[in-house]
Amino acid sequence: MSAGESSGSVVRRILLGSQLRRLRESRGITREAAGYSIRASESKISRMELGRVSFKARDVEDLLTLYGVADEAERDSLLGLAREANVAGWWHSYGDVLPGWFQTYVGLEGAASLIRIYEVQFVHGLLQTEAYAHAVVARGMRGASPAEIDRRVALRLERQKALVSERAPAFHAVLDEAALRRPYGEREVMRAQLLHLIDMSEQPNITLQVMPFSHGGHAGESGSFTMLRFPESDLSDIVYLEQLTSALYLDKPEEVAQYEKAMAALAQESPSPEESRDLLRGLLQLT
């Protein structure tokens, strides 16, 4: 199974969930009533509509009946989505070190055609060297065994393959200067990381900008965020906000629009990619 197929299953799960939510709301049916019809809780319906859980064909059939979907072609299409949505992705083999709430993100990241990020704490995972990633994971997972740290680093390196694959997404990163000055690992680790960023910034599908301290306040004041766009036109953009023990996935148009504005402002206010490369070279001289 290709990475594209397994990542696509996550997109199909979210797409199916959003369509089930649309059907339920159009009929004026509460989540509680929908849950009752399939012998499940209101929270289970919520998780289904957000694409957070797998789908049983019987549950989907019962919900479609409750929502008045009688057209066989429409039913078959949605049930087909349910079957495809249950395909496991490559990242499930890392289930021992991968939180459930992050599995959804890894699938979405792998299926995205455009990834836009703002990062303030450290270099984004898709741009980290192995040594830098090891230092970041070890710092964040104090007390973890060397084997667990190695597994988490391996997962991060596996995710990075998408950026250089045949179907690589467009990737636009704005890194706060703080993320580049905060040391992770020894001096040589930081030097290698800066050199890697310079190299990656020259890839045709990657746009890298640095928001310098000298700019002062800016549109990223609320913290790091990731925006994902997909080739499927009927799937909305998703904003991913990572927290300490969970994550938020925002897809309401009004919420996504606010992050669109913030990302556009960050891109406009930051030095150009060429100027940002010069900033990276300057930081390299100071390291």
pLDDT (tens digit, 9 = 90+) per residue, 11-63?
Answer: 778 878 888 988 999 999 999 999 999 999 999 999 898 887 889 999 999 99
**What does the pLDDT read at residue 92?**
66
Tokens 């997404």 correspond to 169
Rounded CA separation 243/212 (Å)? 25
Task: Judge whether residue 194 has pLDDT over 60.
Answer: yes
Q: Kindly report the number of other CB atoms within 10 A of residue 166's CB atom.
A: 5
97-123 exposure pattern, b = at least 16 Cβ within 10 A, e = fewer: bbeeebbbbbbbbbbbeebbbbbbebb
CA distance linking residue 115 with residue 228, whole number of Å: 5
The yes-or-no verdict on residue 7 having pLDDT over 70 is no
Which of 172, 90, 188, 184 has its CA nearest to residue 138? Answer: 184
Angstrom distances, CA of residue 163 to CA of 58, 88, 95, 101, 177: 38, 21, 22, 22, 23
Q: Mind listing the pLDDT tens digit for each residue in 216-272?
A: 888 788 899 999 998 877 678 999 999 888 888 888 889 999 999 999 999 999 999
Q: What is the mean pLDDT of the chain?
A: 90
Sheet holding 206-211, edge to edge: 206-211, 170-176, 114-119, 225-229, 238-242, 247-250
CA–CA separation, 79 vs 192, rounded Å?
49
- The answer to whether residue 105 scores a pLDDT higher than 80 is yes
Task: Give the helix/strand (H/E) hosting 172.
Answer: strand 170-176
> Does pLDDT of 4 surpass 50?
no
